[in-house]
Amino acid sequence: MEGASVARMGLVPMRRFGDAALPRRSILDGQPIELSDPAIYAITDFKREYPMTVDAERQIDDALSDMIRLGVRALLVSIDQRLVGLITSYDIQGERPIQFLQSSNYNRHKDIRVADVMTPWEELAALDWDTVESARASDLLRVFEQNHLTHLLVIEVDKQTSHCTVRALASRARLLRQLGGRGVSGLVEPAHRGDAGEGQQQRTDQVRTNRQ
């Protein structure tokens, strides 16, 4: 019986197809939620979904193309499988590339690497997984608004070894979309570096990707 089962599993040669792409994330993403719903309904849990990453040496235009293709606004940045930072579409489309060119020997936008405009690991903000598990969507949105951030890492810390694992990623744009634009105390446009014009870009990205 086992041999017959294997025989029915025919191999498909990839030469039959054109360029391949990773599937869009199938999660609670996009499903409407209320402010009183659990915050975990509005995050990307890496135990459920494989994290999207980009090499630090990749050019930023290519990284942005990756984001559009994958339907995301942020990628974890890695060097030799070690996480070193986070880059968002706002970083690439905002002021950071211009500021980098002005302060470096580069003069072409296409030469800028992800490492040049990403937020380094030590500068990222994070929430503790235990806190997020007991929080509501309104709590998560309040953190975004009060700290003027577009993305937040969620880390899980082993209480015995103090080892830190990146458990999830939270996106302000995704949260607002799931809430239908409802805010806690009025929507506040993010102001942290590299995120100028997020409101306009959110509308552009929603049309482009129909999706965080």
Nearest to 91 by CA among 79, 103, 73, 68: 73
Tokens 């293709």 belong to 69
Instruction: Decide: helix, strand or coil at residue 116.
Output: helix
Residues with Cβ < 8 Å from 119, sequence gap 6 or more? 85, 86, 87, 91, 194
Q: What integer pLDDT is reported at residue 201 of this predicted model?
A: 42
pLDDT < 50: residue spans in the chain: 26-27, 186-212
Residues with Cβ < 8 Å from 88, sequence gap 6 or more? 73, 74, 150, 151, 194, 195
Nearest to 81 by CA among 61, 53, 57, 58: 53
Q: What integer pLDDT is reported at residue 176 of this predicted model?
A: 95
pLDDT in tens, 44-61: 999 988 899 999 999 999
Domain chopping of the chain, boundaries: 29-183
Distance between CA atoms of residues 37 and 29, nearest Å = 14
Kindly give the pairing relationship between strand 74-79 and strand 82-88: antiparallel
Q: What integer pLDDT is reported at residue 43 of this predicted model?
A: 94
Q: What integer pLDDT is reported at residue 7 of this predicted model?
A: 55
Q: What integer pLDDT is reported at residue 183 of this predicted model?
A: 63
In this structure, CATH architecture of domain 29-183: Roll (3.10)
Q: Do you know the residue count of the chain?
A: 212
pLDDT in tens, 186-201: 444 443 433 333 433 4
Q: What integer pLDDT is reported at residue 16 of this predicted model?
A: 73
Tokens of 136: 């509501």
